[in-house]
Chains A and B, each alone.
Chain A
Amino acid sequence: QQQVKQSPQSLIVQKGGISIINCAYENTAFDYFPWYQQFPGKGPALLIAIRPDVSEKKEGRFTISFNKSAKQFSLHIMDSQPGDSATYFCAASNRGRGSTLGRLYFGRGTQLTVWP
């Protein structure tokens, strides 16, 4: 089953507006929550990531809000620009057995369109 649920599937925002994408998870063992941005013809690129001991992380116009009790996290894009038009994926992972590496469980993605 889908380990990470992402919404909305698509989002249209006016230039200068705030884009908000939400994700929810069930597995309380997850301890790393990255967001990726993907443009057509390219692989996903890491935007920003957060760990569950922090409730918010901001990098430039991008902010992750994390609610551990609700098992939800969201991406806020402030002052959205046409160049932000892309597909955004949330993801989660947990520490593997005897390893610091782990697989990423991705949400289904949100196609963001920012129009001028």
Chain B
Amino acid sequence: DAMVIQNPRYQVTQFGKPVTLSCSQTLNHNVMYWYQQKSSQAPKLLFHYYDKDFNNEADTPDNFQSRRPNTSFCFLDIRSPGLGDAAMYLCATSIGPQETQYFGPGTRLLVL
């Protein structure tokens, strides 16, 4: 089945130690999104790629970076995780910017 895959499902890192979260898709969608979701809150968009064009949200901290080496993969890099970055990170894809977004299962990040 075509889908959005996120690895790992759970990630534990230390304060200040860089971490990379991975997302892949078999849907061949043009747009890939990264969201941060804290407990009991709605997802918050960090950035998205429309093909190779990177679009950063104005309030996304510089600590968060992203890479999309090809259509199928997108990575979220957190350069120096703080305790406040502990959250669920959700990847989503869509055919186009206003089309339906399909979400992966998420990666739960814990910062010690």
**B partners with A:** no
